């Protein structure tokens, strides 16, 4: 799609005209090169043939004279090994053939000497008078060179006139014909063509790429802007369009950025609301899961407990094994406690709602909480003068308090201040932002510590079951989850405020009891 | 004694050593002399195989793997060197460094004797891990297929006799260094020195092998040291002192195949010493005596893979020492060899009563080689006594007949036996096993006929047919309540044959091919091998190239139709092909350097009889060898 | 029980075989060849034909030197027939067995004479050469020869006296360096009628032979040589001994030595020689050879 759009673009037109001119230049250049190289190759081949024939004629004169085929064959091997040589023919002085050597591969393919295999490429026949130097036939070129032996006129001369200049006579004792394959010319030609074609192609390719890149660079700001507008139209997130210049294109980009920023802001608000909803749903799902597990687990534990009890009973009083049954027993008890906590979190226990004064509950629990806070941690409680009545299971409310206080204490191992306060707030219909209960009047119980506080990540997960920042073995990770469950059962809301280094405050919102009937109705809805 | 028993085997044997030898290089002087008279073509070696026609006078089915062959195939261990020999069935071989159990013609590895210069290497269970024996110090390996008890004692399926190099062969000091590296971090480093000063020759070899395992789950490292000192004490007496030390550690996760959460660690330490004296007491009378010791063993333990907890460990040792001596007397057409073997072994392991048991063996033997022109007769007789298993007499009679200079016939009838493994005599209640002190050796009557021929001077061929009637086979017996014992109850008949063909050298190429077949039939199949009847066959091929021009190469192929019962989970789907190429890159007067490249199991074929221990997949290695 | 019967029968069988009367088989002779090459195999063929004995062939192999010695000793042969120089050298180490050699130069056979070896050396006496030259080229008055005194000193000395006895001249040039040979050949131009090639490793090499042939063709001086190989190459004629015949001769020597057993040594030169002629060369050089001689000769052309 991008390519398609590119082909329609202005940039493509620029690109096309450049590429075409490169093509023309390359083709003309390579045609010239091919022509030049080809003529060079041909010249070389002729030179090679003549040289080979001359050299061979000189080196084999002894064996031509002796007419020894074995030695000739050996002597010719070197030349036969040359790439282009397809055959060598050796003649004696009477132009009779002494030796014909052909290359194996040529024999198999086709005879290099055309239609007359009997002639076997012989440039010389016994009758022929003229001795040609070269001959082109079909696919081959033959090069002929005479074999010359210098002999001394006669022995007597040599004996009597030793000091006289040597009187030697040149005898032609035979001929050598070296046959070269013209096919080499063709293959050379082909490889020259291929080489040139490849070079041209590479040149074209490289040139096109370079032009393409240049054109793209020129067109990029426009393309970017167009793409951004498209994706904005599809409702996708759009990054800021880079403003690369202050020309018309640059200004267009700036305007576009302003527009998309304001769109983005609105989107963010929407997302935050959705996030809150998801969190609530997640906690709900976790609760359901825990409930299922807890129920089965409770049954298993009951069986275990019964069995271990029976074993214990059957063991003699001072049996050593008793210590183990006791350990098992204790472990089961611990497990049941845990399960109970889980069940609470997941609301499978029936809750007994009564109207109760929240301040009274806190007051009643104060000594115990002070004790629990331990040394180094001061407990400060501030309560309103009047009663704040809520529909509640007071035991569960006590649990909330104890868990929150324990949490606060654990956050301050080096001591600090733990404050509990209670107040009444009215939430109007206009309120928003924080997790909002329904509009109405609420009793708000706050538990604050002066501990190290927590970061956002921890705060987001703090009510999940089994989430703990405490050392392994110290906390079950269930405390705050239980608190969360109880608060939800009371139609309330819990909120935590914390900053790193600023301490932590838990606020529990419980609806104030306005009139009894309304509350009874509500309890009927939710078992 | 084992030394010149080697000599005896040589006299008896030597068929194929020539087949595998290089084209002979004439001295420069002789060649120059001949070149004045004859053409180069006339001096081409006619055939490296021609000598076959003259030497074979052996009734047994014998094959020789020389140091040249070992170098050409780049074998690292004895198991690898034997892997491609026709008739040999190597099980439990996962490449160099793994156990590598050598079976011959259907006889499993506990029934094959492996000797190092005549010293038996078997452990208390009659097993030898040929895959941990290095090859560098080996001159040649002689393989006798079929029982040879009348000479060698307990040897049921055959004899693997490893003969080490002699010390101080040359006049000056020669050395060799070898290094190779391959896949899975497999490496082999060796160094060798050989020299002579006056009457004393010294040979030294040290090496180390390592691998992360050529199949997964098999890590190992080995250290080897071998030395030999030869003293020429006068014209007619020679003393050899050899020492061999080997230590290996291997870790194997084989049982993961069965989801068994465990790996095994073996640490094995071998110490070998041998002193031999060879002397001539008269013109036709030679005496050979040797004393030796061989200690082997070490800890073995098993840990879980998941938690690395020790599940089991054991520390077992088998230490033995012995004495051998024999006289060889040449008189007329007879060569008579008579001698004795004495052995004391002590097996130590926690399973034995009092932690250890002793094995006492002695034997007397006599054999004769009679050559009557084209006819050769070799009768042999041996008496063996063991404190475990009792007495046994093994006779044998071999006949060879040279029909023509290119055709030899041979026949052999022999009685063979095989000592039961020592643990079979004793209780091992941890393993639900009740020892049976009354068990006797397994026995065989073996009949072999064979022929060797030169065909048209193009190739030579060797054919052997055999029949082994085996009696007193030890079978497991269920005593009830999950207890087992052994008793001599089984009978087995193995019929088979093998054929080998080797061409004469042509342009440096030699082609070898071999095939073997055996049919095993058990009368009572409650055997631990759990088959009552199996037919097995195998093929081996080898194409080697060496024209003496600095380039050597070999392509070897091995196929074995294991025909194993289905629940062994065997797999044998193709030829295991190995290729090795050696190229000389430097040759000066006193120094040479060559490089080599080996591809093992090129086509990734599987060839194993049990999926617990699978043969390695394709792996490559390359290295350098220098000599001075 | 079974075991006992087995044992007794085995012992009986063994004793029976051990006591077998050893009838007199034909004596066995080990043939030790330097290499498995055609000329040696021809010699062995001739040997086998005339010695009428059992022959066990062993090819010498450097790598297995010890094994071969062991093999030979175990074979306990009546004699060892050493074919080739290396084989003869090796056979010194065997001891106690008569050694008969063949296919070795005379110089080597002389040097190991003390080592009690008999045999046939690859040697044809100079008299035979000179006689043959005069048969083929009756007009020859001057015979040229180039030699290294270390190898062919005595041959040339004998050749010289053979020439003198016939009233012709031997033009001999001494050298010890192969590099001097072309120059020496050139120096013979016009001084000789025939050139005699002698089997001398200093003189004979592919380059010198080629040069010599060129010299022969240019100056129309025929070459008389000592092997069929060089006649084929372009020498006019030659005299040689065939390996088969030398083997035959060695076989007879073995028979004598084994039957007489008196420790006497028999060392001989090649008895039978073959005259070989290249008719093509003779024609080109314009030489006429008598029909009677041509009729007796082998042709190599």
In a domain, C82, yes or no: yes
Q: Does C11 touch chain B (CB under 8 A)?
A: yes
Per the structure, the complete domain to which residue C102 belongs is given by: 28-122+243-268
Q: What is the pLDDT of residue A122?
A: 63
Minimum mean pLDDT range among B107-121, B245-259, C181-195? B245-259
Task: Give the whole-angstrom CA distance, residue B90 versus residue B79.
Answer: 7
Q: What is the pLDDT of residue A473?
A: 44
Output the 3-class SS for C73-101.
Answer: HHHCCCEEEEECHHHHHHHCCCCCCCEEE
In a domain, C38, yes or no: yes
Selection from A68-82, A461-475, B177-191, B259-273 with the highest mean pLDDT = B177-191
Chain C residues with beta carbon closer than 8 angstroms to that of A155: 190, 219-220
Q: What is the pLDDT of residue B599?
A: 92
Q: Does B414 touch chain C (CB under 8 A)?
A: no
Token pair of A337 as six digits: 């406690």
Output the domain CATH number for residue C140.
3.40.50.2300
The residue ranges of every structural domain in chain A are 1-59+183-239, 84-181, 260-348, 350-525
Q: How many domains, in total, are found in chain C?
A: 2
How many Å lie between the alpha carbon of C289 and the closest alpha carbon of chain B? 25
Q: Are residues A336 and A294 in contact, defined by beta-carbon separation less than 8 angstroms?
A: no
Task: Give the whole-angstrom CA distance, residue B450 versus residue B447.
Answer: 10
DSSP helix/strand/coil, C264: coil
β-strand pairing of B174-182 with B186-197: antiparallel
**CB neighbours (10 Å) of residue B204?**
18
- Predicted ipTM of the assembly: 0.86
Task: Give the whole-angstrom CA distance, residue B555 versus residue B598.
Answer: 10
Output the 3-class SS for A20-78.
Answer: HHHHHHHHHHHHHHHHHHHHHHHHHHHHHHHHHHHHHHHHCHHHHHHCCHHHHHHHHHH
Output helix, strand, coil percentages for chain B, rounded to the nearest 5: 10, 60, 30
For residue B273, the cross-strand partners are B243, B293
Chain B residues with beta carbon closer than 8 angstroms to that of C25: 333, 371-373
CA dist A159 to B330, B547, C7, C18, Å? 74, 52, 96, 83
Interchain pair A158, C189: CB under 8 A: yes
Average pLDDT over residues C181-189: 91
Q: Are residues B300 and B274 in contact, defined by beta-carbon separation less than 8 angstroms?
A: no
Q: Does position B257 have pLDDT exceeding 60, yes or no?
A: no
In a domain, C18, yes or no: no
Q: Are residues A494 and A443 in contact, defined by beta-carbon separation less than 8 angstroms?
A: no
Task: Give the whole-angstrom CA distance, residue B86 versus residue C189.
Answer: 68
In a domain, C190, yes or no: yes
Chain C residues with beta carbon closer than 8 angstroms to that of A65: 213, 217, 234, 284
Token pair of A216 as six digits: 């793209």
In a domain, C3, yes or no: no
Token pair of B304 as six digits: 């879980």
User: Which residues 30-69 of C have a C-beta within 8 angstroms of B?
Assistant: 34-39, 41, 54-64, 66-67
| Tens-digit pLDDT profile for residues B310-345 | 777 778 889 999 999 998 887 767 778 899 999 999
Q: B345: Cβ–Cβ under 8 A, 6 or more apart, which residues?
A: B124, B318, B319, B320, B358, B359, B360, B361, B422
- The owner of tokens 């909002």 is A436
Task: Give the whole-angstrom CA distance, residue B621 versus residue A171.
Answer: 63
Helix or strand (DSSP H, E) at B621: strand B619-627
CA nearest neighbour of B394 among B160, B155, B157, B161: B155
Q: What is the pLDDT of residue B217?
A: 66
Q: Does A62 touch chain C (CB under 8 A)?
A: yes
Q: What is the pLDDT of residue A477?
A: 60
Shared domain for C202 and C135, answered yes or no, is yes
Q: What is the DSSP string of A496-519?
A: EEE-TTS-EEEEEEEEB---HHHH
Shared domain for C102 and C144, answered yes or no, is no
Task: Band the pLDDT of A127: cuts 50, 70, 90.
Answer: low
**CB neighbours (10 Å) of residue B280?**
15
Q: What is the pLDDT of residue B453?
A: 86
Q: What is the DSSP string of B27-49?
A: PHHHHHHHHHHS-GGGGSB--TT
Shared domain for C84 and C177, answered yes or no, is no
Q: What is the pLDDT of residue B424?
A: 86
The percentage of chain C sitting over the pLDDT mark of 90, rounded to a whole number, equals 42
Selection from A162-171, B151-160, C112-121 with the highest mean pLDDT = B151-160
Q: Does A162 touch chain C (CB under 8 A)?
A: yes
DSSP helix/strand/coil, B232: strand
Superfamily, domain B2-627: TonB-dependent receptor, beta-barrel domain (2.40.170.20)
β-strand pairing of C223-225 with B174-182: unpaired
Shared domain for C38 and C133, answered yes or no, is no
CA nearest neighbour of B182 among B618, B479, B626, B558: B618
How many Å lie between the alpha carbon of B547 and the closest alpha carbon of chain C? 15
Task: Give the whole-angstrom CA distance, residue B280 versus residue B200.
Answer: 19
Q: Does B44 touch chain C (CB under 8 A)?
A: yes
How many Å lie between the alpha carbon of C43 and the closest alpha carbon of chain A? 25
Task: Give the whole-angstrom CA distance, residue B248 versus residue B131.
Answer: 11
**CB neighbours (10 Å) of residue B503?**
20
**CB neighbours (10 Å) of residue B552?**
22
Interchain pair C218, A152: CB under 8 A: yes
| Tens-digit pLDDT profile for residues B55-90 | 345 678 888 888 889 999 999 999 999 999 999 988
- The owner of tokens 């060649």 is B31
CA nearest neighbour of C213 among A515, A67, B460: A67
Q: C208: Cβ–Cβ under 8 A, 6 or more apart, which residues?
A: C178, C181, C182, C185
Token pair of A382 as six digits: 């501030």
In a domain, C52, yes or no: yes
φ/ψ of residue A503, rounded to 5: 80, 175
Task: Give the whole-angstrom CA distance, residue B460 versus residue B406.
Answer: 9
Phi-psi region of B482 (alpha: psi -120 to 50; beta: other; left: phi over 0): left
Q: Does C207 touch chain B (CB under 8 A)?
A: no
In a domain, C156, yes or no: yes
CA nearest neighbour of C146 among C126, C170, C176, C173: C173
Average pLDDT over residues C184-206: 91
Q: Are residues A443 and A320 in contact, defined by beta-carbon separation less than 8 angstroms?
A: no
Minimum mean pLDDT range among B34-38, B144-148, B446-450, C91-95? C91-95
Helix or strand (DSSP H, E) at A102: strand A97-102
φ/ψ of residue C290, rounded to 5: -60, 140
DSSP helix/strand/coil, B544: strand
Task: Band the pLDDT of C9: cuts 50, 70, 90.
Answer: low
Q: What is the DSSP string of A303-367?
A: HHHHHHHHHHHHS-TT-TTHHHHHHHHHHHHHHHHHHHHHHHHTT-S----EEEEHHHHHHHHHH
Annotation: CATH topology of A350-525? Heat Shock Protein 90 (3.30.565)
Q: Which residue of B has its CA nearest to C74?
A: B11
How many Å lie between the alpha carbon of B41 and the closest alpha carbon of chain C? 9
Task: Give the whole-angstrom CA distance, residue B517 versus residue B464.
Answer: 11
DSSP helix/strand/coil, C23: coil
Cα B254 to chain centroid distance, Å, stands at 26
- Residue B31: CA atoms inside 13 Å, Cβ hemisphere, count? 12
Size of interface A-C (CB pairs under 8 A): 45
Facing B42 at nearest CB: one of C22, C37, C56: C37
**Angle CA C116–C121–C122, to nearest 5:** 165
The residue ranges of every structural domain in chain B are 2-627
Token pair of A507 as six digits: 């606020």
The residue length of chain A stands at: 527
Eight-class DSSP state of B471: E
The residue length of chain B stands at: 628
Q: Does position C178 have pLDDT exceeding 80, yes or no?
A: yes
Q: Which residue of A has its CA nearest to C212?
A: A62
How many Å lie between the alpha carbon of B47 and the closest alpha carbon of chain C? 7
Q: What is the pLDDT of residue B1?
A: 40
Helix or strand (DSSP H, E) at A297: helix A248-314
The percentage of chain B sitting over the pLDDT mark of 90, rounded to a whole number, equals 34
Task: Band the pLDDT of A472: cuts 50, 70, 90.
Answer: very low
Task: Give the whole-angstrom CA distance, residue A237 versus residue A228.
Answer: 9
Output helix, strand, coil percentages for chain A, rounded to the nearest 5: 55, 20, 25
Token pair of C159 as six digits: 């050749």
Question: What's the pTM?
Answer: 0.52
Task: Give the whole-angstrom CA distance, residue B107 versus residue B112.
Answer: 7
Q: What is the pLDDT of residue B14?
A: 36
| Tens-digit pLDDT profile for residues A262-287 | 777 777 777 877 776 677 667 666 66
Chain B neighbors (3+ CB pairs < 8 Å): C
Facing A70 at nearest CB: one of C217, C232, C280: C232
CA nearest neighbour of C300 among C210, C223, C247, C193: C223
DSSP helix/strand/coil, B71: helix
In a domain, C2, yes or no: no
């Amino acid at each position: 799609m991008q390519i398609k759009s590119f082909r329609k673009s202005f940039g493509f037109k620029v690109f096309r005209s450049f590429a075409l001119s490169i093509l023309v230049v390359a083709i003309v250049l390579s045609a010239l090169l091919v022509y030049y190289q080809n003529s060079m190759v041909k010249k070389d081949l002729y030179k090679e043939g003549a040289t080979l024939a001359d050299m061979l004629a000189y080196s084999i004169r002894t064996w031509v004279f002796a007419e020894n085929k074995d030695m000739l064959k050996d002597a010719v091997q070197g030349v036969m090994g040359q790439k282009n040589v397809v055959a060598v023919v050796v003649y004696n002085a009477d132009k009779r053939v002494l030796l014909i050597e052909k290359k194996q591969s040529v024999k198999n393919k086709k005879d290099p000497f055309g239609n007359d295999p009997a002639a076997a490429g012989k440039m010389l026949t016994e009758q022929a008078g003229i001795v040609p130097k070269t001959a082109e036939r079909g696919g081959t070129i033959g090069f002929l060179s005479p074999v010359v032996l210098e002999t001394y006129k006669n022995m007597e001369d040599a004996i009597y006139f030793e000091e006289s200049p040597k009187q030697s006579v040149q005898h032609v004792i035979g001929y050598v014909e070296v046959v070269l394959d013209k096919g080499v010319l063709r293959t050379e030609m082909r490889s020259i063509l291929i080489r040139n074609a490849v070079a041209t192609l590479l040149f074209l390719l490289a040139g096109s790429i370079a032009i393409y890149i240049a054109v793209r660079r020129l067109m990029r700001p426009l393309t970017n802007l167009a793409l951004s507008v498209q994706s904005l139209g599809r409702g996708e997130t759009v990054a800021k369009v880079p403003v690369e210049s202050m020309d018309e294109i640059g200004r267009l980009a700036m305007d576009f950025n302003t527009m998309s920023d304001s769109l983005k802001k609105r989107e963010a608000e929407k997302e935050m609301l959705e996030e809150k909803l998801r969190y609530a749903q997640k906690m709900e799902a976790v609760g359901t899961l825990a409930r299922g597990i807890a129920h089965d687990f409770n049954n298993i534990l009951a069986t275990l407990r019964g069995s271990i009890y029976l074993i214990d009973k059957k063991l003699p009083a001072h049996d050593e094994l008793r210590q183990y049954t006791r350990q098992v027993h204790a472990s089961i008890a611990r497990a049941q406690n845990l399960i109970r906590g889980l069940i609470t979190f997941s609301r499978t226990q029936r809750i007994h709602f009564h109207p109760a004064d929240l301040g009274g509950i806190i007051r009643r629990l104060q000594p115990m909480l002070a004790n629990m806070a331990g040394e180094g941690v001061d407990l400060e409680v501030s309560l309103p003068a009047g009663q704040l009545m809520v529909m509640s299971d007071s035991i569960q409310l006590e649990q909330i308090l104890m868990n929150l206080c324990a949490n606060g204490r654990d956050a301050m191992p080096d001591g600090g201040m733990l404050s509990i306060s209670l107040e009444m707030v009215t939430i109007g219909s206009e309120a928003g932002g924080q997790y909002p209960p329904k509009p109405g009047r609420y009793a708000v119980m706050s538990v604050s510590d002066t501990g190290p506080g927590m970061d956002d990540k921890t705060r987001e997960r703090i009510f999940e079951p089994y989430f703990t920042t405490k050392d392994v073995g110290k906390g079950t990770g269930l405390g705050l989850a239980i608190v969360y469950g109880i608060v939800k059962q009371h139609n309330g809301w819990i909120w935590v405020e914390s900053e790193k280094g600023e301490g932590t405050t838990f606020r529990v919102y419980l609806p104030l009891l306005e009139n009894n009937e309304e509350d009874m109705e509500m309890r009927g809805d939710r078992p | 004694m084992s030394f010149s028993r080697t000599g005896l085997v040589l006299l008896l044997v030597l068929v194929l050593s020539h087949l595998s030898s290089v084209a002979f290089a004439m001295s420069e002087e002789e060649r120059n002399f001949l070149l004045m008279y004859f053409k180069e073509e006339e001096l081409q070696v006619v055939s490296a195989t021609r000598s076959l026609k003259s030497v074979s006078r052996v009734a047994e089915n014998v094959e020789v793997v020389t140091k040249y062959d070992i170098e050409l195939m780049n074998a690292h261990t004895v198991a690898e060197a034997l892997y491609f020999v026709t008739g040999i069935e190597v099980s439990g071989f996962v490449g160099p460094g793994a156990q590598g159990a050598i079976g011959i013609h259907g006889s499993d590895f506990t029934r094959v004797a492996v000797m190092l210069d005549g010293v038996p290497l078997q452990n208390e269970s009659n097993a030898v891990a040929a895959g941990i024996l290095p090859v560098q110090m080996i001159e040649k390996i002689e393989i006798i297929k079929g029982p040879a008890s009348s000479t060698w004692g307990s040897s049921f399926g055959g004899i693997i006799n490893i003969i080490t190099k002699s010390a101080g062969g040359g006049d000056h000091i020669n050395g060799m260094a070898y290094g190779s590296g391959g896949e899975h971090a497999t490496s082999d480093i060796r160094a060798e020195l050989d020299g002579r000063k006056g009457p004393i020759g010294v040979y030294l070899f040290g090496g180390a092998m390592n691998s992360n395992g050529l199949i997964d789950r098999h890590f190992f490292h080995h250290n080897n040291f071998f030395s030999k000192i030869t003293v020429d004490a006068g014209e007619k007496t020679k003393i050899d002192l050899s020492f061999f030390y080997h230590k290996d550690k291997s870790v194997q996760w084989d049982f993961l195949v069965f989801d068994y959460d465990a790996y095994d660690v073996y640490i094995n330490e071998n110490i070998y010493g041998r002193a031999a004296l060879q002397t001539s007491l008269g013109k036709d009378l030679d005496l050979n005596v040797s004393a030796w010791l061989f200690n082997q063993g070490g800890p073995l333990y098993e840990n879980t893979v998941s938690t690395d907890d020790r599940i089991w460990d054991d520390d077992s040792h088998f230490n033995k020492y012995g004495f051998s001596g024999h006289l060889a007397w040449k008189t007329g057409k007879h060569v008579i060899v008579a001698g004795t073997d004495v052995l004391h072994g002590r097996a130590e392991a926690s399973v034995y009563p009092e932690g250890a048991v002793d094995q006492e063996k002695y034997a007397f033997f006599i054999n004769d080689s009679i050559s009557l022109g084209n006819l050769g007769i070799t009768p042999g007789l041996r008496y063996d006594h063991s404190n475990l298993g009792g007495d046994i007499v093994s006779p044998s009679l071999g006949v060879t007949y040279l029909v023509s200079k290119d055709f030899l016939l041979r026949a052999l009838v022999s009685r063979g036996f095989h000592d039961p493994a020592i643990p079979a005599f004793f209780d091992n209640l941890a393993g639900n096993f009740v020892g049976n002190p009354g068990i006797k050796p397994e026995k065989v009557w073996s009949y072999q006929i064979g022929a060797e021929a030169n065909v048209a001077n193009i190739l030579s061929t060797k054919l052997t047919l055999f029949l082994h009637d085996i009696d007193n086979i030890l079978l497991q017996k269920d005593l009830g309540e999950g207890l087992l014992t052994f008793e001599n109850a089984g009978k087995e008949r193995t019929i088979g044959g093998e054929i080998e063909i080797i061409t004469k050298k042509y342009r440096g190429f030699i082609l070898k091919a071999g095939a073997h077949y055996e049919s095993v039939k058990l009368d009572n199949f409650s055997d631990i091998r759990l088959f009552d009847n199996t037919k097995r066959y195998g093929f081996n091929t080898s194409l080697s190239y060496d024209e003496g021009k600095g380039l050597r190469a070999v392509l070897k192929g091995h196929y074995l139709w294991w025909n194993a019962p289905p629940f062994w989970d065997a797999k044998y789907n193709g030829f295991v092909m190995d290729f090795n190429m050696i190229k000389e890159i430097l040759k000066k007067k006193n120094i040479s350097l060559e490089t080599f490249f080996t591809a093992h199991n090129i086509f990734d074929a599987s060839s194993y009889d049990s999926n617990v221990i699978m043969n390695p997949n394709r792996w490559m290695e390359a290295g350098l060898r220098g000599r001075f | 029980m079974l075991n006992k019967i087995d044992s007794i029968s085995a012992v009986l069988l063994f004793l029976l075989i051990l006591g077998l009367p050893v009838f007199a088989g034909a004596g066995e002779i080990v043939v030790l060849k330097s290499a498995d090459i055609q000329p040696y195999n021809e010699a062995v063929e001739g040997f086998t034909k005339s010695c009428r004995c059992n022959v066990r062939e062993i090819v010498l192999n450097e790598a297995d030197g010890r094994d071969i010695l062991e093999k030979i000793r175990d074979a306990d042969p009546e004699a060892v027939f050493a074919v080739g120089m290396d084989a003869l050298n090796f056979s010194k180490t065997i001891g106690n067995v008569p050694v008969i050699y063949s296919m070795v130069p005379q110089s080597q056979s002389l040097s190991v004479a003390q080592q009690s070896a008999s045999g046939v050396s690859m040697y044809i006496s100079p008299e035979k050469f000179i006689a043959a030259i005069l048969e083929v080229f009756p007009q020859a008055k001057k015979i040229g020869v180039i030699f290294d005194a270390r190898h062919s000193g005595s041959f040339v000395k004998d050749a010289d006296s053979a020439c003198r006895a016939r009233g012709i001249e031997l033009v001999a040039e001494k050298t010890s360096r192969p590099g001097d040979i072309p120059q020496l050949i050139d120096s013979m131009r016009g001084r000789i009628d025939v050139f005699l090639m002698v089997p001398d490793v200093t003189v004979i090499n592919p380059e010198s032979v080629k040069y010599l042939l060129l010299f022969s063709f240019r100056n129309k001086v025929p070459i008389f040589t000592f092997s069929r190989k060089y006649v084929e190459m372009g020498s006019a004629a030659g005299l040689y001994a065939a390996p088969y015949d030398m083997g035959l001769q060695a076989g007879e020597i073995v028979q004598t030595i084994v039957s007489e057993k008196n420790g006497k040594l028999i060392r001989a030169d090649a008895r039978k020689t073959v005259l070989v002629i290249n008719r093509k060369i003779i024609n080109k050089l314009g030489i006429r050879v008598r029909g009677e001689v041509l009729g007796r000769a082998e042709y190599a052309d």
